[in-house]
Amino acid sequence: MKNVQKSKRANKSLPFFFKDEFKVSFVIIFVSIILLITTFTFDVVPPILNRGIQPATFPKALLTLIIVMTLLIYYLATKNPWKVQKKLPKSFILTLSSFVIFLIISKTLDFFLAISALSIFVSYCWGEKRIFYLLLVGIIFPVIVFIFFETILGLRFPPGIITNIYYS
Amino acid sequence: MDNLLLMMAPLFSSKLLLVLFFGTLFGLILGVLPGLGPTTGGALILPFTMTLDPLSAIVLLTSIYCAGTYGGAITAVLINTPGTPAAAATCLDGYPLAQKGEAGRALGMATVSSTVGGIFSVIILVFFAPILAQLAYEFGQPEYFALAIFGLTMLASIGEGSPIKNLIAGAFGILISTVGKDFMTSIDRFTFGINELTEGIGFIPVVVGLFAMSEMLTQSTLINQVFNRIALKAIKLPSKDDYKKTWKTILRSSGIGSFIGVLPAEGGTVASLIGYSEAKRFSKKPEEFGKGSIEGIAGAEAANNAATGGAMVPTLALGIPGSATTAVILTGLIIHGVRPGPDLFREQPDFLYGIFGAMLIANILFFIFGFFGAKIFARITLVPNKILWPMIFAVSVCGTYSLNQSIIDVWIMLFFGVLGFFMRRYGFSVVPVIIGLILGELVEGTLRQSLVIFDGNWLMFFTRPIALTFFILSLIALAFPLIRSKKINKKL
């Protein structure tokens, strides 16, 4: 309880644009406005085909609702500030980066290689240094998963340097 | 009598029994592992259900649901970390009792009360789902629209966290459902020129992203956390004295859990908290709560398992999910070409009663597995996160890819993983997003069709008694948190 009060006090002393409630509200409203603008580019249906409302009307109403409610939570947060969140650790940044690495490798090199690389990278960053376990999560297990999905579901994975060797 | 025989059908099918056996076992493992749970597990197993017939597929998903909800209690008692969110209240008394050297007694009570709660809720399901389905015959498009709105407001109102944040998350979920070709006019919406998006955003990438991937990111912030695991010698059935102390609590919590489950909200999580607090309110020794009260464990566990059957009532009768896991089950039904609703009760009673029977058997099975295998399941918690989560990643990626064989789905999953992490960090529950996504088409479709019926006159909604009732209930649901917070402020 004391910690929550302390973190709330700490939050009060920050300039408004550094506060989580401002940053979160800003992001939601910014994205919503962009999407709202996008709705104006949707095709308009001629009255004879139109059933009830235009296709853009419903998303417009939803986005307006989201913006209004976000303003409301920001207003309420000025009275009752959110508690300050702890700084994200290095392990989080590394895990998040591994998602980006996965995207790049899966797009450019190979889907299987991407899974394997991410598994080894994440396991290592989270503290696993034993080679056998790194091989287990990075190679043995993905191979089992691949074969399982391929045989049970008849799945064909996207082409890539390793997958092509397997399929050929 | 015929229905009772239909319920027993799974017992006479070796295939269904095998599915039930594996579903219950898998559900227990998922429940035991913190961060996973029946919702994520159900979403991951969904692609595999394509190889099964519809009944076996849904039996698999429901048995995971029942067993996974119970499995969370094992971790709650032994390492003070709820295996599933629904077991959070079990930690309050389960762990202190385990610290006193009575882990076996705590788990015994959790197992018995979960089984009683689960069976009680299946009975509720058998009786109330057909009645609700019968009532649903009176529903037209405006009534379904009002009902979906009521569902979303209930979710915002009694769900975890801030009601406004829950509403934003629910509206966001509905917004995701609008991506792709408009189902009435075939006009592209939010596709940004990406062909794969014209089919819309799939349910599985969103669920796996919001639950599994966001949890992986959460676990990455907790890698230095050390769990104090209490050793379990053997699970003990409750003594006569314990039964005397708790039978009223178990029955009360079973009723509460079933009722909360029927409401389109967060199912087991809310049910266990209310079940726990009511157990404390009615207890002769409320001062023991939080210090290892056996009634506290019974109250929380009976309620969360009772919510499973309750949550299936609106899912099967109306096609409106009662919890995040039933949203996955609903997706399973749709994927297998089964449309939930009143017609299902009329046209496929054997299918429905097969599900009811399977849920009943799953509750008995997890009792047996829990009683004889809790010690083994407890050992699963020893699998280190640095091994477990990369493996879950591999299954998540392949599972997500497998449904449409689309790499875009994998990217969507990762995007929702990151989004889900930040949503949870800033107090936005991810459950309303899932419910919003699954109800989105219903909300928009019924709204537009209603407006066609009403010739564009919005006010006509209020001339329909059932729709008006749901709108009034929605307003009450929205006002409820305000009244509750004012009452708490007054007390303080």
How do the pLDDT tens digits run along chain B, 492 residues long?
566 666 676 667 788 889 999 999 989 888 888 777 888 888 888 878 888 889 999 999 999 999 999 888 888 888 777 777 788 888 888 888 888 888 888 888 999 999 999 999 999 888 888 888 888 777 888 888 888 888 888 777 766 678 888 889 999 999 999 999 888 888 889 888 888 888 888 888 898 888 888 888 988 888 777 666 676 677 778 888 888 888 889 999 999 888 888 876 667 778 888 888 888 888 888 888 888 888 889 999 999 899 888 888 888 888 888 888 888 898 889 888 888 888 888 888 888 888 888 999 999 998 998 888 877 877 777 778 888 888 888 888 888 888 788 888 999 999 999 999 999 898 888 888 988 888 888 888 888 888 888 887 888 888 888 889 889 988 888 887 767 666 655 654
Task: Find residue B188's DSSP bridge partners.
Answer: B181
Tell me, what's the pLDDT at A65?
93
Half-sphere exposure of B454 (CA within 13 A, CB side): 21
Q: Which two tokens stand for residue A71?
A: 């303003």
H or E element that contains B481: helix B465-491
With a CB cutoff of 8 Å and minimum separation 6, the contacts of B281 are none
B52: DSSP letter: S
CA distances from B117 to B8, B28, B272 (A): 20, 17, 11
**pLDDT, tens only, A36-82:** 999 999 888 877 666 668 888 899 999 999 999 999 999 988 888 88
Asked if B449 has any chain A CB less than 8 Å from its own CB, the reply is yes
With a CB cutoff of 8 Å and minimum separation 6, the contacts of A165 are none
List the single best residue of A126, A131, A133 to mutate versus B (max B Cβ within 10 A): A126
Q: Do residues B310 and B119 lie in contact, with contact meaning Cβ atoms separated by under 8 Å?
A: no
Tell me, what's the pLDDT at B160?
67
- Determine the Cα–Cα distance for residues B330 and A46; give it in Å rounded to an integer: 35
* Residue B303, phi-psi category: left (phi > 0), alpha (psi -120 to 50), beta (remainder): alpha
Contact B391 A127 (CB under 8 A): no
- b (16+ CB within 10 A) / e for B373-407: bbeebbebbeeebbbbbbbbbbbbbbbbbbbeebb
What is the pTM assigned to this prediction?
0.85
Provide the 10 A C-beta neighbour count for residue B188. Answer: 18
Q: B394: which chain A residues are within 8 Å (Cβ-Cβ)?
A: 115, 119, 141-142, 145
Instruction: Write the residue in B399, B407, B426 that is nearest to A106 by C-beta.
Output: B407
Contact B220 A20 (CB under 8 A): no
- Determine the Cα–Cα distance for residues B333 and A129; give it in Å rounded to an integer: 44
Tell me, what's the pLDDT at B63?
93
- Residue B326: helix, strand or coil by DSSP? helix
Instruction: Please count the residues of chain B.
Output: 492
- Determine the Cα–Cα distance for residues B265 and B16; give it in Å rounded to an integer: 30
Q: Do residues B245 and B296 lie in contact, with contact meaning Cβ atoms separated by under 8 Å?
A: no
B277: DSSP letter: H
Apex A104 CA angle, A100 and A106, nearest 5: 110
Residue of chain A whose Cα is closest to the Cα of B451: A52
Q: Do residues B77 and B93 lie in contact, with contact meaning Cβ atoms separated by under 8 Å?
A: no
List the single best residue of B213, B392, B448 to mutate versus A (max A Cβ within 10 A): B448
Provide the 10 A C-beta neighbour count for residue A45. Answer: 18
B114: nearest Cα among B69, B60, B61 = B69
Mean local confidence (pLDDT), A107-135:
89
Asked if B179 has any chain A CB less than 8 Å from its own CB, the reply is no
Q: Do residues A112 and A157 lie in contact, with contact meaning Cβ atoms separated by under 8 Å?
A: yes
- Determine the Cα–Cα distance for residues A66 and A44; give it in Å rounded to an integer: 23
Contact B448 A58 (CB under 8 A): yes
Residue of chain A whose Cα is closest to the Cα of B416: A99
H or E element that contains B181: strand B180-181
Tell me, what's the pLDDT at B60?
93
Cα B362 to chain centroid distance, Å, stands at 16
Q: Do residues B361 and B20 lie in contact, with contact meaning Cβ atoms separated by under 8 Å?
A: yes
Tell me, what's the pLDDT at B363?
92
H or E element that contains B476: helix B465-491
Q: How far is A110 from chain B (nearest CA, A)?
A: 12
- Determine the Cα–Cα distance for residues B148 and B336; give it in Å rounded to an integer: 23
Q: B217: which chain A residues are within 8 Å (Cβ-Cβ)?
A: 92, 95-96
With a CB cutoff of 8 Å and minimum separation 6, the contacts of B408 are B194, B196, B197
Contact B221 A92 (CB under 8 A): yes
Provide the 10 A C-beta neighbour count for residue A14. Answer: 13
DSSP string, B75-103: HHHHHSS-SSGGGHHHHHHHHHHIIIIIH
- Locus of tokens 């990626």: B397
DSSP string, A35-102: HHHHHTTSPPPPTTT--SS-TTHHHHHHHHHHHHHHHHHHHHHHHSPPPPPPPPPHHHHHHHHHHHHH
Q: Do residues B101 and B84 lie in contact, with contact meaning Cβ atoms separated by under 8 Å?
A: no
Residue of chain B whose Cα is closest to the Cα of A28: B168
Task: Find residue B36's DSSP bridge partners.
Answer: B34
- Determine the Cα–Cα distance for residues B418 and B428; give it in Å rounded to an integer: 13
